[in-house]
Amino acid sequence: MDKDLQAIQQARDLVERAFEAQRAFADYSQDRIDSIVYGLARAGLREAEHLARMAVQETGYGNVEDKILKNRFGAETVYQGIKDLKTAGVIREDRVNGIIEIASPVGVIAAVIPSTNPTSTAIFKALIALKSRNSIVFSPHPAATQCVLETARILMEAARAAGAPDEIIQCMSVTTLEGTQELMKHRKTALILATGGLGLVRAAYSAGKPAYGVGPGNVPAYIESSANVPKAVSDVITGKCFDYGTLCCSEQAIVTDEAIREKVLEEVKSQGGYVLNETETAVLSKLVVTPNRSINTQIVGRAATVIAGMAGIKVPEKTRALVAPLKGVGRDFPLSMEKLSPILAFYVEKDWKAACNRCIELLNFGGLGHTLAIHSQNDEIIRQFGLYKPVSRIVVNTQSSLGAVGYTTKLFPSMTLGCGTMGGNISSDNISPLHLINVKRIAYARSAQSTSDDSAPTRGSVRSSQMAELAGQPVRFVCEEDVRSALVKGAKIYINPKTVITPSARDLANEKDVLVIVP
């Protein structure tokens, strides 16, 4: 059988099994769910190093030390962020307004896993899926199939040991585009969690299912004149080099003010950045970007020294990042795009307003809706960037790569970062279990607005029991709950011939003598 047909059949089989497992899982209590999620988190934490080594060995992307941290983030930090969330049964009760909110799971989640962050993304998606009482089926990138299969096996064993149904976590072993499409479009798939390239995200949104996909990141890091320059440069270089730049929220360009240009460059060089000359920039550009203007996957997630060697550029052994001064943004400046490697563009602008415009240019060239970093001590400039930048998250005085995911900030810890409608996404949030539930609401009858005549509202939405204290002011509507509330307060409800009264309210009110008729 052809591989694409095998993948299609496997997708169908796995969704069917996951569907049956989720039907049983949907009846679990919050306590049982929390116990299972805790078991998953412990397993992910325990196997963080093992899975990191597998991911690097199979994909060739990143480095083991940083992938361990990613796995720990996916297992430990995410768990701490979700453990107290209510996701089963009654999750909120508003007695004042008479509304009860009840969570229900969505069903089977199709989870597309990238090659750049395979094991950590799988751990994260499994945790938020099971926390919200859903089942999950992974579709790994072909370059990361084995490490994701191993992650799924470890998590499934932990889930089963904690009491979850068999096959609540599934993973495709035959990975093709056709199989992924079948998984996303299957009639029993309820929702898609897509992490990957732009083409994949677009496919997820066109699959006819609700989908959370994330757009590309082309993150500018602005170092403003008032910034603590040594710390700012340290944050940018550290963020850019984390796992060799494979996070979509890692910094892609330094933008700084002319007044501090030399100081910033001095810090870049002292902290392991190699500043390219024009010839080296041109050579590197041809290596990084293919003739069809896509990124060369051979440089993704590689060390700066390795990439320099591929380009024939001699750099010091301790070089951490390659820094390319550029004069513009767009196709004529290939290094102004997202690079998924320790390569930074470098721009110098007259002042913060010019820097603001440059950042917007960079975002328009492939990072709309994602993330921006600013290093500044000027709160007004920080606020201006927040007001006018087309991004969903702005991290301040910290590295972008770990700040955007919620590791060095108090943003919700997540490995899936929505880019909002600016980036063609349905959400601008850091995706959490609360995005994977349906919320139904029980709403009890309440009185309508008080009006002085048939058209003009006079007192807004005020309950009848409160209106009863307004001597002589008639209400428009009375229900049984209004009468009971008035009885508790020892109050009267004033009505006139136009007041609408429900039968149960009238019976109770007449019995207790609550209603007072006024002209």
DSSP designation for 407: S
Q: Which residues is 501 bridged to in the sheet?
A: 478
Element (H, E) at 374: strand 369-375
Identify the CA nearest to 370 among candidates 321, 434, 416: 416
The token duo for 482 is 């209004």
Identify the CA nearest to 356 among candidates 364, 268, 239, 245: 364
User: What's the order of all strands across the beta sheet hosting 211-213?
Assistant: 169-171, 135-140, 108-113, 189-194, 211-213
For 359: left if phi > 0, alpha if psi spans -120 to 50, otherwise beta; the answer is alpha
Element (H, E) at 118: helix 118-131
Identify the CA nearest to 183 among candidates 1, 22, 12: 12
Q: How many helices (H) and strands (E) does the chain have?
A: 19, 19
- Beta-carbon contacts of 172 under 8 Å, excluding residues fewer than 6 positions away, are 7, 10, 11, 14, 137, 138, 139, 140, 145, 179, 180, 183
Identify the CA nearest to 172 among candidates 111, 127, 220: 111
Active-site residues: which are they? 248
What's the CA gap between 323 and 501, in Å, rounded? 74
Secondary structure percentages of the chain, helix, strand, coil, to 5:
45, 20, 35
What's the CA gap between 431 and 404, in Å, rounded? 12
347: helix, strand or coil:
strand
231: helix, strand or coil:
helix
